[in-house]
Every structure is written in C-alpha cells, then in structure tokens.
A and B are shown apart, each in its own frame.
Chain A
Amino acid sequence: MSRYRIPGMGRVDPAAPVSFTFDGRRYTGLRGDTVASALLANGVHLMGRSFKYHRPRGPISAGSEEPNALIGTSRGPGRFEPNTRATVQELRQGLVTESQNKWPRLSFDIGAVNDRAYMLFSAGFYYKTFMWPRSFWDKVYEPFIRAAAGLGKSPTEADPDTYASRYLHTDVLVVGGGAAGIAAALAAAQSGAKVTLVDENPEMGGALLSDPSVRIDGRGSWAWLADQLSQLRAAGVTLMTRTTAIGYYHQNMVGLVERLTDHLDQPPQDAPRERMWRVRARQVILAQGALEKPLVFDGNDRPGVMLAGAAQTYLNRYGVKVGDNAAVVTCHDSAYYAAFDLVDAGGRVAVIVDTRDQVRPDLADAARSRDIQLLTGHTVTATGGRLRISSIRVNPVRNGRVGSGRRISCDALLVSGGWTPSLHLFSHTKGSLTWDADSQTFLPRHKTEACQIAGAGRGLWGYAEVLADGVTAGMAAITEIGRSAVATSARVEGDRPGTGSSQKELPTDRSAGKARAFVDYQNDVTAKDIRLAVREGMRSIEHVKRYTTNGMATDQGKMSNINGLMIAADALGKEPPQVGLTTFRPPYTPTSFGAFAGYHRGATFELTRKTPIDPWAEAHGAVFEPVSLWRRAWYFPRPGEDMHQAVARECRATRASVGIFDASTLGKIEVAGPDAVEFMNRMYTNPWTKLPPGRCRYGLLLGEDGFIRDDGVIGRMSPDLFHVTTTTGGAARVLNMMEDYLQTEWPDLNVWLTSTTEQWATIALNGPNARKVLEPLVEGLDLSDAAFPHMSVAECSVAGLPARLFRLSFTGELGFEINVPARHGLTLWNALMESGKAYDICPYGTETMHVLRAEKGYIIVGQDTDGTVTPQDAGLGWAIGKAKADFVGKRSLSRPDIVDPNRKQLVGLLTEDGSRLEEGAQIVLDPNQDVPMKMAGHVTSSYASDALGRPIAMAVITGGHGRMGETVHIPMPQGTIRAQITSTNFYDPDGERLKA
C-alpha cells in the first residue's frame, strides 16, 4: 500500500493494482485512480512546471477544471497526447506519463529563471516588448512568440485511433450526475419521459462521492446513490458516464463527448476512442454543480496547495491523504468539512485560518473537538518550501490592518475561496446572468432555451436543498412537455450546509506588488498583473482579460474568472457586475480534434463523387483532379510522359482523328411542363420559343445583377421538355436558383424540374473521325451532316442502349455527346473505345478539354468569369435574346456601370517572347509607371497550344474589346512580359471544322 493511501477508504479497488510511469519512474496505483490520485498516494505533488514562470506546480483540483497538473500521456505507439489533465486521466496498465515545460528535469528546471525575472513579464508584456523596431517582427519577435506559445509537445505521428459520431433524441437531457441531477432525472423518468443523464466523471454521484458521511433516507449516501442509480436504470433512463457536455447550441442541441477507451487496459478491436453525440432534447436540465475558487495570496501555487474540496475528494473517493500535516485557509464553511474528514480519517490538521471574523459555532466546536487550532479574522501572507509547501505565514487582520505574521508548519494547504456556480453551458445559450450580492456570485436569470437549472449550479448549498431543487427541476421539465408525475422528497441527515464570503486577494503586511499571488494558474497571471492592467487604462473585464491573458487558457478561467473580476472591480472601485463577466464559449473542456472530425478522416475525409466511367480511368492510369465534389480524370499519361507531354498528345490526337472524354459530371436538369419554354425564356438570356424539338442551343444564365452564373448546352426534346446541361460545379446551384424563381416568383407556371445529373452517363466524342466511330453503333438515326447538323439532339439507340444523342462541340471539332442511363456508362465507353480502335481513339482528360476549348475561346464559368463578368464582357452578347420581354438579369444589363465601355472585357493574349503566362498574373498598360502600378486586368486562362504551336492566354482587360492589336505588359518577378491583345478565337476562327 502506498504511503498516503488509507486502507478501507475510497472507491478504488485495493485488490487491483495498476502500474504506470511518470517521468520514467514506475509507480503503482489502484483501479479507479486518476493519475493525480495515484501520484498523490505515492506522495508526489510536483507534477509540472507553469507556463510562463516555470514554477513548480501540483494538482490544485480533483476534476476537469484542473489548470496545473497538465501532463503528457502515452497510451502506446502513436497515442501520445499533450496537456492531459492528470486529475481526469484514469489509470490504465502501462500508461506512460511525463511532466511538461521543464528542462532538464522537473525538479531542476533552467526555465525557472523566468520566475526571478518575473517583474519583466508583467501584464501587457507582449504589447510593450514587441513593439519596435518594426524590422524585428518577422525574424525575431514572431519566431520567439511562436516558440514560447503553447504548452506541451504536439504529437508528431498520425492518430491511429478512430472516432465516432451519433445523433440522439431525448425528451429530457440532464447534464450532471450529482445529487440534483439524479433527483431531476428520476422525477422526470417517473412520468414515462425518455430521459438521458450524463456526467463527465467515470461514475455518477458528483459531490456525494466525496461525502460518504451524509445520510439520505436513512442510508449512507453511497448506498442511497447505488439505489438511485438502479432505480434510474429500471425506469429506462440512459446513463452516460465519462461524457462531457461540451456545448449548448440553438434549439436545445447539446454536444456531448463520450470517452470510450482511454481508461481501458485493452480496448476492444475497432473501438472508437471517443464518440461525439449531437443530442436534441425537448428539455435540458443543467445540474452542473459549482466549482471551488482558490484564494489569492503570495505563494498560493506551491505544490501541496490544493482546493479543500479536492483534498476531500482525494480522501473519500480515492482513499488518499494529501498530507500528514495539513493547514486550511478559507472564507467558506465547506472547507471545515474537508478538514474534519481528514482528521476523522487519522490525519492531522494543524490550523484552520478563516478570513472571516465570525464562524458558525457548531463548526468552531467541531474543530475544537478535533484539536484543530482555529484562527478567525486571519490572513495568509506567504508560503514556505520549494518543490512542496513546508509552512504558511499567518497574520491577524483587525479593522483592515494586518498584524505581524508567524509561521505554521504544514505539508499541505487546503484553500477555499467559496464556490462559483458552473454556468458555462447556460452561458453558451446567451442566457443572461444576474449578480447576487449576498453570495457574491453570478446566477442564471433569463433563459433563451427550453432548460431548467438545478442545485449548486444556481447557487444552492446543502444536500437537502439541492435534492429538493432537482425534483423541482425534473417536475418543471416534464410539465413543459405535457407530462406529469408525483413529486418525491428525500430526508437528509448529517447535511453539510454552508455559506461564505467572497475575497479579492488576501490582505498582506508585505509589498503587494511583489507578491506571487496567482489568479490564473494556467496562464501565470497574478493579482498584481490585473491591478496593473487597470492602472494602464483597462476598464472592461474583456480588456483586462486580453491584456493579462487571465482566463484565456484552455481551462477558460474556471477558477480565475471570478477572482480576477473581484480584484479588477476593487481596483476600479466599482461593483463586479459593472465591470462584467467574460463570455464562456464551447467547448466546456478541451476536446480532441478527433471527436469533432468523427468519421471524416482518411478515405471518408470528404465526400468524393465518382462517375460510372471512373473505374476505367483508374485502371488506365489517369491522374485525377477534384472538380467541386467530383474527382475527374485530368489526363492519361503514357509511361514516361509528364503532364505537358500527355496533354499535348491528347490534344493532337483529338484534332487529328478522334478523342473520347467522360463528361458525366455535367449537371443535367429536366425541365418539363406546358410552360417549359416560357420558363426557359425567363431564366436564360437566349430565346427558346423558336428552337424546334430536335435542336439544341448554348444557354447563358445570369443573376439578377446581370453577371454570368452558369452556361451549358440545352436540348429541346419535345415542345414541353428541355434537357438542360449545367457546369459540373454549378449543377446544384442552378437547380436551386431555378426552384427558387419557380416557387417564389412564378408559382403560376406549369413546369417541373428534376435533377437528372446522375441518371445519365455522358461521353463526348470529338474529332474529324468522331462520326465514323459513332455511326456503326447508332440505330434509328441518320448521323449525316445534312440529317443531323451541328446543334442537333435526338433519342436513339447507341450500342444497343437507349440514348439521348447531342451533336455539339466544346473543342471546335465535329463533336457528339452521348447520354445513356448511368448504369450503362461503362458499357458504352468500352463500345466506343472498341469502335474507335481503327481511328486510334484517344481518351483525354479535363486538362485537354480546357486547352481545346481555350483554342476556340469558349469560356469556363468560374475561370474566365468571376461573378463580375457580363455577357458583353465575355463576348457573348450574341447569346442575349434582345426581343425578349424579360429574363433574369435583363434590367441590370442596361445599368450605366454595366454598359461602361471601360469594363474589364475578355480578350486573347499572345506573348511576344512565346512564353506561357501565369494564370492570375496582373496586366498593366504602361510598364514605366511608378509602383504600385495601375492594374488593367489579369490572365484568366493560359495554356501551351499544340494546334497553334505556341502558348495562348485569355485575360480580362479594361476596355479590352477596343484594344485589339495593342500591346500590354505583364510584370513578373523575372521581368516584364509583353503581349498582344487578340481575339479569343485562336483556332479555326471560321468554324469550318464543326461542319464536318
């Protein structure tokens, strides 16, 4: 048995030793221990070095609010985690732990020189020190700040664990499994409601686990607890332990993180490490309890200094004495019970120092009967010791005057500055708070969500009161959802009621300016820092917080916020509510990235859409590129080819004979109904009325602002049916836009839209031999130029498959697009490849498609347009049906700024030196201007063109259409490139090849 373990006490299993290491040394704890309780059982209080001053630190709490005992933990290869709270991490066999922020070792840390220079590192240190010279910022200051920022080592290996997600719907969600939460859950469950009770600890019970002497309904609290839990189970309540409610979102959505395997010696195969629950509850009951505050005095961070409630928890829950000879300093009654429990368990408490002048007589008597010296109206002004507390300095305070001090030896100091109701989740809902002057704390006031708040979380104290309040909250919740039950009550004996006063930093007879009196342990913020911030002009607590970093660590100031506020308010001479409270934000406690990512990692990181022909492309060595959610074949390199060579070959083969391209990702929308043509007239710029069935047309879609949104070829299948194609990335957006107009602007139109993007697999055949490849496979259609001219569409059979066949071209060559039901896409592809063998058919990817279309000056929406390009700007004025009464965007096209001849207009560019321009490069008209030069536009597309034997580019340039033949300049790091403005139609400008 470890030196500080008391046999027969605690909820740990003495028959189940668990071995672990801390900084390389082997220790033994018990099943049920945390790392902190196991180390304390072995007499180890020193667990880390503080962030800024490298001061030795030990655990100050026994729970998730711990700011000090942050350690590195390793649960095996790849499973290292920094900043694990030793007070939360349960022991498991072979757990490897290490202290942080120390060098060369924990007991002797060079970084502790910062502590001696502490006067330098005062509030606003960064703002004052890293101001000037400006030139130091990039090379000196920022690297220094980055190196100093953050505690612990980031993991370097990929996380081998998996994480899960789940949704849950429940009538009542109770957050916090202490006395109030259990009473609330049971009351609610008795109505037949579906109830879920969650608690962040490994077992339910909350403070009851640390108060075994209290008797409820004639039984010890632990027996009562066990009975309540079995009643909850019998009532069908879902009980979730190791589950933290991290955030409270709109409409009663609460995020929970359940820790599933960190405590297990041997996690089952494939078990996720954590699971994120997204809970939608009709009613939420917040029973989160209260967090104990430390007191602020010189040396209040020395290992061995600990919250009184934490010492009580280590004793009763883990059977661990935090010292042999403890002292207590408090301003709240609750610390007395911690002292009494310690003495009753065979420990010694040298003194209780109470800052209050008056103490409840029964507490004073109980202290006396245990031989505890009681010093009321006293203060603590210093602590002695280095790596562990060895004494305190105690002074009387009379009428605000601090008398002379004396030393009292101790090896542990239990402190209590009172309790703060845990309002974090309530604060997430933007519920308002009210300052309670009696208890000197904030309490919940106006609620914005369907929630109840019960117990110590709303400032109540003592089990009788808290249990009754839990029942009340449970009843209120079920009443709200239209259920009912009979309220019960519990009888409490040996209750531990209490009150306290609230403190700023404790009075001292020494220089307050030199006191290392910590308010925020995790960020090393002292009372002096907060007073300095106020002296330097910070008035709001939000400014004090950011100037001092008080409450900005990962614990979000669970211990420091109220103490910091009390000191700031005192310095400002204002009441605390006038100074304000900072906002709590999710998550309540630090949460792993894995829990947020859930299943979204590796192959399922992001949804990837693949076409029916994708397997062929993969098997034939395609290089892929992402296009919106799709992955598309980019190019098909042959052995030894780089991208440039492959694309040049694909372009050449297509223009010389025939190329085949998977266009299945194109968006497709079926527009059907008696008003289909009217709808098309109103949506697209083009006129549709006279387009006969069997023909297709290039369609241009604008927004109300007159700028190009989308384009595509649209076929009229019958008088009342259009087959619309959209860009790959625009498919969903265009359908939404159309539905929006249909439902809100033109509900009178008899027309219906159906997304058919995935109904069809689409294959494009382009090149002078395209007809020869296709013709043998087509039945029921004459493919000759006379019978089926450019921009025709027909239903027919291709390779025995029902098809919608378009004759159109995005390459400038004779082209066809064949649509077949998607499940046959691969069959058609193979048939075309077979038929095309005689013509050396060449599969090509999106890059070749881009080059071929650029050679013809066909735009790509989103590349050559950026949401500020009109049809005229893009040279597509011909696509506007000028005789039409209206279409989306029509009115905007006559706005003065839209008809301005100096708008940026799309033109071609040919470089004088034959170099290929960089897409996005800026263009200037006069290269001899002073810097910064006036930009006249930028390059939107640029490719090496095999057909032209030189690079080509497209660009938007101010007044570009009126500058044909002019020279512009593209300043690049290597020098300025000269280029001539040309038409964008670089290749076969008369379109002879289309008519083949």
Chain B
Amino acid sequence: MTTHDHDFTAAPFLIEERPWSPRLSLRVRPQHRETLARSLGLDLPSRIGHRSVTDKTELLCLGPDEWLILVPAQGRDDLMAASAEAYAATPHSLCEISDRDITLRLSGPQALTALAAGCPRDLGSLPIGNAARTVFDSATVILWRDGQDSFRMDVWRSFLPHVRAILHKVKAELSSGL
C-alpha cells in the first residue's frame, strides 16, 4: 500500500513515499569489480558513497565489495540474466531486495534540519549526488542527496512507520517556528 503526503502549504519540508521499483544488492570482491562491471554493462563506482547513473539505472557503492543497484522494472530481468551468465567466470552475489526497503523523498528548505533531528552524521557536508548508509533515529537508512534540499531515504519496511512518525513530530516542531 503506497501512500503519499502532499502538503501544498508552506510546510518546512515534504515527505513523499516513492513507488516500488526493483532494487538489488550486488556483492563482488574489489579485484573483480571491473570485470563484473563490464560483463553486466554497469559503471560500478569504487569509492564508498559515490554513485553512477546511466539510463535510469543508479549504482551506489556502499562498501568495498557492496553496491546497491536501482534498475527500472523492465531492466531487472536482463540484469539477472547477465548476472547468471557472468557468475561462473566472476563469482558474485546479486540478491533482490526490492521489497526490503521503502524509499521516502524529503525535500524543502528545512529537509536538512529535519534529518539533523535523527541523524548523527554531518549531512551538510554530504556532497550533492552522493549517498551514505547511516542511521535516522533507531533505524538504519541509506540517505541519497539529490539536491541542496532534496534527499531520498531508504528504510527497511518495518522500520518505516517509526521513521515516519518521528518525521511528523519534527515537521510539527519546525512548523512552530522555534
């Protein structure tokens, strides 16, 4: 069930739930990164927190041997097939986690402030275009910075109601002006 909060008043920030789309976790040893990238036709960034975008496919490096792949629905099966073909020569793991996470978009002039309510990282210094695996309140999240005041937050499905509830409290707090 997808719900959207559209707040067209002068809210400090907007919370929107993004629709479902395929999401995969790719694991491969660092020394096989380039070979696998060629086999799968992907641009796998080598620095943690960096991402690449090609043809609506987004790749985020989460660790020395870990990437998150967001792929359009029609590209999912091709990617799985390419992975299966490359497996024997270049062992790796490609695990579907499309339903594990739900993504929120946070945007608006106080989006950064809202995130500072629950995230201990210095998000002001997170470059636009980068992302980070971090925590918000009690939940592990992946935060994508898409613009100065625009973020995506990937949250494990069962943690979402809590994260949302905290964000709504923060929204009320920021609306008070204090």
Contacts and interface: CB of A to CB of B under 8 A. Distances in A.
B93 A272 contact: no
Contact of B29 (A267, A612, A750): A750
A929 B96 CA distance: 62
Given A268-B176, A670-B95, A165 B25 contact: no
Contact of B124 (A169, A611, A750): A169
A152 to B, nearest CB: 27
A166 B117 contact: yes
Q: Which of A260, A267, A823 gathers the greatest number of chain B CB atoms within 10 Å?
A: A823
B156 to A, nearest CB: 5
Interface in B97-148: 97-101, 113, 116-122, 124-125, 137-139
Q: Which of B100, B137, B166 gathers the greatest number of chain A CB atoms within 10 Å?
A: B100
Nearest to B120: A167
Nearest to A822: B99
Given A268-B177, A272-B173, A673-B93, A754 B116 contact: no
Nearest to B167: A599
Interface string A590-627: 00000000010001101111111000000000000000
B119 A167 contact: yes
A604 B97 contact: no
B172 A169 contact: no
A167 to B, nearest CB: 5
B162 interface: yes
A729 to B, nearest CB: 14
A759 B96 contact: yes
Contact of B138 (A164, A168, A607): A607
A609 B102 CA distance: 14
B10 interface: no
A27 B113 CA distance: 41
Contacts of B73: none
A758 interface: yes
A607 B155 CA distance: 13
A758 B95 contact: no
B161 A164 contact: no
Contacts of A165: 117-118
Given A269-B176, A271-B176, A754 B93 contact: yes
A673 B90 CA distance: 10
A944 B137 CA distance: 42
A754 B177 contact: no
A272 to B, nearest CB: 5
Contact of A162 (B92, B101, B120, B173): B173
B178 A260 contact: yes
A261 B176 CA distance: 11
Contact of B159 (A269, A609, A611): A609
Contacts, number: 117
B91 A162 contact: no
Interface string B165-177: 1100110110111
A806 B172 CA distance: 46
B91 A823 contact: no
Contacts of B117: 164-167, 599
Contact of B122 (A268, A280, A606): A280
B157 A673 contact: no
Interface string A889-916: 0000000000000000000000000000
Contact of A604 (B98, B113, B166, B176): B166
B158 interface: yes
A164 B173 contact: yes
A821 interface: yes
B136 to A, nearest CB: 11
Nearest to B101: A758
Contacts of A612: 157
B178 A268 contact: yes
A672 interface: yes
Contacts of B118: 165, 599
A270 B11 CA distance: 14
Contacts of A757: 100
Given A162-B173, A822-B99, A823-B20, A752 B122 contact: no
Interface of A, helix, strand, loop or mixed by DSSP: loop
Contacts of B97: 754, 756, 759
B125 to A, nearest CB: 8
B18 interface: no
A594 to B, nearest CB: 13
Contacts of B96: 759
Contact of A166 (B27, B99, B116, B159): B116
Nearest to B28: A752
A269 to B, nearest CB: 6
Nearest to B23: A759
A599 B27 contact: no
A674 interface: yes
A272 B113 CA distance: 15
A646 B86 CA distance: 54
Contacts of A707: none
Contact of B157 (A607, A750, A758): A758
A755 B170 CA distance: 30
Contacts of A603: 165
Contacts of A823: 20, 99
B158 A610 contact: yes
Nearest to A610: B158
A603 to B, nearest CB: 6
B169 A604 contact: yes
B122 to A, nearest CB: 4
A202 B140 CA distance: 38
A822 B173 contact: no
A627 B69 CA distance: 32
A627 B165 CA distance: 21
Contact of B178 (A272, A604, A720, A751): A272
B141 to A, nearest CB: 12
A159 B93 CA distance: 51
A630 interface: yes
A599 B116 CA distance: 13
A758 B158 contact: yes
Given A270-B173, A270-B176, A672-B93, A278 B25 contact: no
B95 to A, nearest CB: 4
A611 to B, nearest CB: 7
Interface string B43-71: 00000000000000000000001000000
Nearest to A264: B178
Nearest to B124: A169
A943 interface: no
A134 B91 CA distance: 73
A636 interface: no
A763 B118 CA distance: 34
B99 A609 contact: no
Interface in B74-101: 87, 91-93, 95-101
Nearest to B121: A167
A498 B52 CA distance: 65
Interface in A753-772: 754-760
Contacts of B116: 166-168
Contacts of A672: 27, 93, 95
A413 B122 CA distance: 51
Interface in B1-53: 20, 25, 27, 29
A278 B93 CA distance: 39
16 contacts: A166-B116, A167-B117, A269-B175, A270-B172, A270-B176, A271-B178, A272-B173, A599-B117, A599-B166, A599-B169, A608-B161, A673-B91, A752-B65, A752-B95, A754-B25, A822-B99
Interface of B: 20, 25, 27, 29, 65, 87, 91-93, 95-101, 113, 116-122, 124-125, 137-139, 156-159, 161-162, 165-166, 169-170, 172-173, 175-178
Interface of A: 162, 164-169, 260-261, 267-272, 278, 280, 599, 603-604, 606-612, 630, 670, 672-674, 720, 750-752, 754-760, 821-823
Given A167-B119, A270-B175, 13 more contacts: A267-B176, A268-B178, A270-B176, A271-B176, A280-B120, A599-B170, A611-B158, A756-B100, A758-B156, A758-B157, A759-B96, A759-B100, A760-B99
